[in-house]
Structure 1
């Protein structure tokens, strides 16, 4: 049994985003006096956070940028996930009850799937 809410598609997207725009590569500055509109974890208020649905909803909502969280699995596979542990958004308590509060980065890609 594997954790829900993490897919190969999002990991592939995470890798593409990471390669296309490495951290710190661009300075984002607002033009004029209007604030930037940034979709936090996509449009997490209308779709599950850090999913393709949330990213699409965020881009369609008028957000100028979409923010996502990319982490590396224990074996080095990039994936999209916000929290430090899997307890809030996955079924880890059912699958790995003794690892509920373990760092999300301590799981291998196979375990995350």
Structure 2
């Protein structure tokens, strides 16, 4: 599963060393990524530079989900796991890379969805 962290939330600082993503517990996000199993591959994308031309893809092995309160006092579903690898690519290259292209629209822009399923 792909996760869009284009807001560059620092999940490790917010929730601890093994946290890699968070989702709201109500509204649209509450129903996303509900079918993760231990060991599932999760790829989190975030910008690596202020110009937003470089993207870091961090690959995690999902371990568990916890319920936490963020700094704004909102409950969050926190996804936790083990970092397997990272890769930094130019955004233009990532958009055409078969491993990551599902995260982008046909114009090479990131899809606005927080979670994008991998191809079956």
TM-score higher than 0.5: no
Structure number with bigger Rg: 1
1 or 2, which has the higher strand percentage? 2
1 or 2, which has the higher helix percentage? 1
TM-score, with normalisation over the residues of structure 1? 0.20
